[in-house]
Chain A
C-alpha cells in the first residue's frame, strides 16, 4: 500500500478509514521516510502531524479530546469523609444536587462524577487536604469559578473537587506601588470593584469576570481584553503562594517588582492548570485607573481594511490604546437573534471595538477624533460610533463580551482558540466555512485581533461526531502549518491535552512530563489534563 501517497492527498475520509488499522506510529514514520524526497515540505509537515494524530492517543483514534480510562487512584471511603468533615465542618459537600453544578463545566460539554466537594478557607486547610490525599492516593480537581472552556476545571471521574470559593479575602493592598495581595478564590469582578474605589484597576479583564477566580486566572494564564495594554499575567503576577501535591506550602508571595534571586518558580505554576500545585494566594501589580476611557465601535467592509485600521490605530492612538477586538457579521446576527442586542451602526462584514485609556480626557478625545476622521475619510472604516459615558461604554463592550453567551443558545459549540499571524486570522474562518459547508450551523470568528488571537466557533444543533471529525484535526493542522498555537489563552485542559504536539516539540513535552513527575509523583493533581496521555 502506498500509504504516503494516500496520506499526502488531503482526503480526511480515506485517512480515517485507514486509521482503524492498528498501525504503530513508528511503522508509518519509517514508510514516510522512504518517500521523503518525493514530497514537498508541506506534505511532510502534514504527514508528521497525521502520525501525531494517530499515536493512539485518547480513548479512541479520531477523538483525542475524550477522556482516557480511569487511572488506579483510590476511591473515597467513609474514613476519608470523616477526616474531611473534621477538618472542614459544614464545608464538606456530598449532596449530589449541590455537587451537580461543580461536576459540569460552563459550556455543559463535560461532566464528571465527583462525590465530594471541599471548601477550605485557609492555605493551611488546603495543605492538610493535599497531604492526606497524597498519602491516600486520592485524585484532586482544583476548581475556581468553573468558567474554563477546555474541560480543565471539572473532574473526569470521581476526583475530589477542591474549591477556592471560600478563599476570598483581600490580604493587603499598597496604594503607592499598586500591589494587591489576595487569596486565590477572589472573584475578578469583586477585585476590580475593590480596586476601582482606590483608583486602581486589575491588569486583566475578561467576559467571565463575574464568576472567575483570580487563582483560576493565574493557573490558566488567562489573557483577556486588556492584554494588549498591560501584558500577560506572566508579567503582572509578582508572587504566588502554592500548595504542592504532598501538602508542602511554597510561599513565594513576594510583593517586589524586581527580585532576581534564584529560579523564578512562580512561572512554573502560572498556566500549569492546577497540575503542578494549587495556588492559594496571589500578589499582582495593578495599574492606575485611567481617568478617561473611550470606546469606539467601527464597521469595516473587509479584513484587509480591518488590519490597516489596526496599523493606523497603533500609529495614531499608540500609548492610549488599551484594547482592539473584532467580531464578524455572523457574531452580530447571533447577538441580535439570541440576546436581542441592537447593532449601533450599519451592518458590516466586520466590527471593531477599540478602547482607549489615558490620564487626560481632552487629549485622548482629540487623538481619538483625529484617528476616527482619518479612518473615515480614507474609507478604511464605513461607519462607527463613539462612547465616553460609562453606560454607553458598557453597552458597546457587551457586543463583544457576550458573543460567547449568544453562541451557547445555538445548541452545541465547538470552540477553538487559536494564535496565528495577524494577516491569516480570518483566512482560517473562511477556509473552515468552505471546508464544512452544510455540516455546520454557523461558523463565526471573533477575538483579540490585536494579539493575533482568534476565537473560532462552530455551532451545530447538537453534538455531532461527523462534524467534529471534519473539524479536527483539520483546524490543528492548518494552525500548525502557519506555526500558530492551538490554544492561545484557553489552555489545554481535558479537551486539548493530546494536541499539544501541534504546537510544542516532543522534547519540550517530555521535559514537562519530568517536571510533573518531580512535583507530583503520584499524579493526584488534576489528572487527565494539560499533558498528553502518552506522557505516563
Chain B
C-alpha cells in the first residue's frame, strides 16, 4: 500500500501537573511547567505506527504547530515510529490564540501538499477539550470523518482496498463501518495503548528529518476571531459540616431552605 498518513500531535501541559491560573487571569501558567504530548495524540501516533507495521501504509508523518519546543513532541512521535516530521512555526501572540479552526486549516493545506491518504488525530486536547479539529479538518477537505471510538470500545482500524474499515463495539454488539479514503480518523482513549519509546528508537529518531514550514507558506491565516476575556479557577469546594444528631440535620436542612 502506498498510503501516507498524517498524524497531528499537540504539545500540552502534562496531564499530572497541577494547573495554576496566571495572576492577570488571561490564561494559565505555562512557563517552566512540564509539557508533554497530548495523550489522545499519543494514541493517534500509536495507531498510525501500527498501520505501518501491518504494512497497510507506507509512511507516517508527524505534524505539530507551535514554537520551537514542539520539536520535542515531534521527536517523541518519531521515537514511537513515525518516519518524518513537519514543524509548522507559530509563536508568540499567534500561538496563544491558535485554535482548532486555524490548525484544521493548516492540516488541510498540508494534507493536500503531502498528498496524504489518511489523517489520524487525537479526539481532543486535554488543555482546551475542544474536540473540533478532526471534524473541521474533514469538512475543509470534504473528506469523511470517523471516530473509531465514539465513546465505546474500538476494536480495530484497517485498510482494505481503498476503504478504511473500522470495527467498533456498540451496545448491541460489533459494528463494522467502511468509509472511503481519503478520510480523517480521530482516536479516543480505548483505541490502543501507546508504546514506550525504546532507546534504540530514540537514537534512530535523532536522525529522522523534521521540516520547518510557516503558515503563510501554506496560504493559511492564523489570526483568531476569538478573544479570551478571562480565565478563572473553579470555585473552591466548600467544606462539609458534621452534625451530631438527626434533629440537627433536619434543622440545618431547613435553614438552608432545602426542606
| Neighbouring B residues of A383 by C-beta, 8 Å | 198-200
Contact call B14/A385, Cβ cutoff below 8 A: no
CB distance from B14 to the nearest CB of A (A): 5
Min CB distance, A61 to chain B, in Å? Answer: 52
Q: Is the Cβ of A390 less than 8 Å from the Cβ of B202?
A: no
CB-contacts of A486-526 with B (<8 A) = none
A422 within 8 A of B: no
- A298–B196 Cα distance when bound, in Å, is 12
Q: Is A388 an interface residue (CB 8 A)?
A: yes
- A384 and B198 contact, Cβ closer than 8 Å, known pairs A389-B34, A391-B14, A394-B16: yes
Asked whether any CB of chain B lies closer than 8 Å to the CB of A373, the reply is yes
**Distance of A373 Cα from B198 Cα, bound (Å):** 12
Q: Bound state CA distance, A345 and B199, in angstroms?
A: 9
Inter-chain contact B16/A344, CB cutoff 8 Å: no
Which residue of chain A lies nearest to B18 when distances are taken between CB atoms in the complex?
Answer: A197
Say whether B15 contacts A391, CB under 8 Å. yes
Asked whether any CB of chain B lies closer than 8 Å to the CB of A536, the reply is no
* CB of B64, distance to nearest CB on chain A (Å): 16
Q: Chain B 212-230, CB within 8 Å of chain A: the 1/0 string?
A: 0000000000000000000
Q: A372: CB under 8 A from chain B?
A: yes
Interface residues of A in 285-335 (CB under 8 A from B): 291, 297-298
Residues of A close to B34: CB separation below 8 A: 388-390
| B32 touches A (CB below 8 Å) | yes
Query: Which one of A297, A342, A376, A388 contacts B203 once the chains associate, using CB atoms below 8 Å?
Result: A376
B200 touches A291 (CB 8 A): no
Interface residues of A in 339-358 (CB under 8 A from B): 342, 344-346
> Cα distance A392–B197 when bound, in Å?
11
Q: How far is the CA of A347 from the CA of B34 in the complex (A)?
A: 30
B36, A388: Cβ atoms closer than 8 Å: yes
Which of A387-422 touch B at CB < 8 Å? 387-392, 394
Q: B36 touching A385 by the CB < 8 A rule?
A: no
**CB <8 Å contact, B17 and A390:** yes
Complex-state Cα separation, A126 to B197, whole angstroms: 53
Near A by CB (< 8 A), chain B positions 117-131 give: none
Tell me whether A376 and B199 are in contact (CB under 8 A): yes
* A373 to B199 Cα, complex, angstroms: 8
Q: Is the CB of B32 within 8 A of A344?
A: no
- Chain A positions within 8 Å of B203 at CB level: 373, 376
The residue that A386 contacts in the complex, of B17, B36, B193, B199, with Cβ under 8 A, is B199
**Is the C-beta of A47 less than 8 angstroms from some C-beta in chain B?**
no
Chain B residues with CB under 8 A of A344: 196, 198
The answer to whether A381 has its CB under 8 Å from any CB of chain B is yes
Question: Which of A344, A381, A387, A389 has the most CB atoms of chain B within a 10 A radius of its CB?
Answer: A389
Which residues of B lie under 8 Å from residue A390 when comparing CB positions? 14-17, 34
Q: Is the CB of B199 within 8 A of A389?
A: no
Partner of B197, one of A291, A376, A385: A385
A381 touches B199 (CB 8 A): yes
Evaluate contact between A385 and B199: CB separation under 8 angstroms.
yes
In chain A, positions 45-99 with a C-beta closer than 8 Å to chain B are none
Q: Are the CB atoms of A391 and B199 closer together than 8 Å?
A: no
Give every chain B residue within 8 A of A386 (Cβ-Cβ).
197, 199, 202
How far apart are the CA atoms of A383 and B198 in the complex, in Å? 7
Tell me the bound Cα distance from A149 to B17 in angstroms: 33
Distance in angstroms from A213 CB to nearest chain B CB is: 24
Cα distance, A376 to B207, chains bound together (Å): 16
Q: A372–B14 contact, CB under 8 A?
A: no
In the complex, the answer to whether B36 meets A389 with C-beta atoms within 8 Å is yes
User: Are the CB atoms of A385 and B196 closer together than 8 Å?
Assistant: yes
Most buried by A among B15, B32, B198, B199: B199
Contact: A345 with B16, CB < 8 Å?
A: no
Measured between C-beta atoms, what is the minimum distance from B31 to chain A in Å?
12
Q: How far is the CA of A450 from the CA of B132 in the complex (A)?
A: 49
CB distance from A90 to the nearest CB of B (A): 12
Q: A394's closest neighbor in chain B, by CB?
A: B16
Contacts of B199 in A (CB 8 A): 298, 372, 376, 381, 383-386
Give chain B residues whose Cβ lies under 8 Å from the Cβ of A392.
36, 196
B15, closest chain A residue (CB): A391
Bound: A394/B36 CA distance, A = 14
Proximity bits, A431-464, B CB within 8 Å = 1, else 0: 0000000000000000000000000000000000
Residue of B nearest to A298 (CB): B199
Nearest chain B residue, comparing its CB with the CB of A372: B199
For B14, the closest partner residue in chain A by CB is A389
The CA of A387 and the CA of B36, in the complex, are separated in Å by 10
Residue among B196, B197, B203 with the highest chain A CB neighbour number at 10 A:
B196
A376 to B203, CA, bound (A): 9
Query: Which residues of the partner chain A approach B15 to less than 8 Å between Cβ atoms?
Result: 389-391
B184 to chain A, nearest CB (A): 27
Q: How far is the CB of B45 from chain A (nearest CB, A)?
A: 14
Q: How far is the CA of A383 from the CA of B199 in the complex (A)?
A: 6
The distance from the CB of A236 to the nearest CB of chain B, in whole angstroms, is 26
List of B residues within 8 angstroms of A388 by Cβ: 34, 36
Question: Chain A residues near B196 (CB, 8 Å)?
Answer: 297, 344-345, 385, 387, 392
Q: How far is the CA of A344 from the CA of B199 in the complex (A)?
A: 11
Contacts of A391 in B (CB 8 A): 14-16, 36
**How does the 8 Å CB contact mask read for B166-210 relative to A, with 1 for contact and 0 for none?**
000000000000000000000000000100111110110000000
CB-CB nearest in chain B for A193: B18
Please, which residue of chain B has its CB at the minimum distance from the CB of A342?
B193
Whether B16 and A385, one on each chain, are in contact in the complex, defined by CB atoms closer than 8 angstroms, is no
CA distance A279 to B257 in the complex (A): 49
* A335: min CB distance to chain B, Å: 15
By a CB distance below 8 angstroms, the chain A residues around B197 are 385-386
| A293 CB to nearest B CB, Å | 9
Q: Which residue of B lies closest to A376 (CB)?
A: B199
A342 and B192 alpha carbons, distance in the complex (Å): 14
B14 near A345 with CB under 8 A, answer no
- Which residues of the partner chain B approach A384 to less than 8 Å between Cβ atoms? 198-199
Chain B 16-34 residues near chain A, CB threshold 8 A: 16-17, 32, 34
> In the assembly, what is the distance between CA of A100 and CA of B214, in Å?
67
Residue of A whose beta carbon sits closest to that of B199: A384
Q: A389-B34, A390-B34 given as contacts; is B200 within 8 A of A376 (CB)?
A: yes
Chain A neighbourhood of B200, CB < 8 A: 376, 383
Q: In the complex the two chains form, what is the Cα distance from A53 to B197 in whole Å?
A: 51
Tell me how far the C-beta of B70 lies from the nearest C-beta in chain A, rounded to whole angstroms: 15
For window 137-163 of A, CB contacts with B under 8 Å fall at none
Q: In the complex the two chains form, is A385's CB within 8 Å of B198's CB?
A: yes
Binding site for B on A (CB under 8 A): 291, 297-298, 342, 344-346, 372-373, 376, 381, 383-392, 394
Q: Besides the contacts A386-B197, A390-B16, what 17 more A-B pairs have beta carbons closer than 8 Å?
A: A342-B193, A372-B199, A373-B203, A383-B200, A384-B199, A385-B196, A385-B199, A389-B15, A389-B16, A390-B15, A390-B17, A391-B14, A391-B15, A391-B16, A391-B36, A392-B36, A394-B16
* Interchain residue pairs with CB less than 8 A apart (14): A297-B196, A298-B199, A342-B193, A344-B196, A376-B203, A383-B199, A383-B200, A388-B36, A389-B15, A389-B36, A390-B14, A390-B17, A391-B14, A394-B16
Interface set of B (CB-CB < 8 Å, partner A): 14-17, 32, 34, 36, 193, 196-200, 202-203
- A-B pairs, top 4 by smallest CB distance, nearest first, are A390-B16, A344-B196, A389-B36, A384-B199
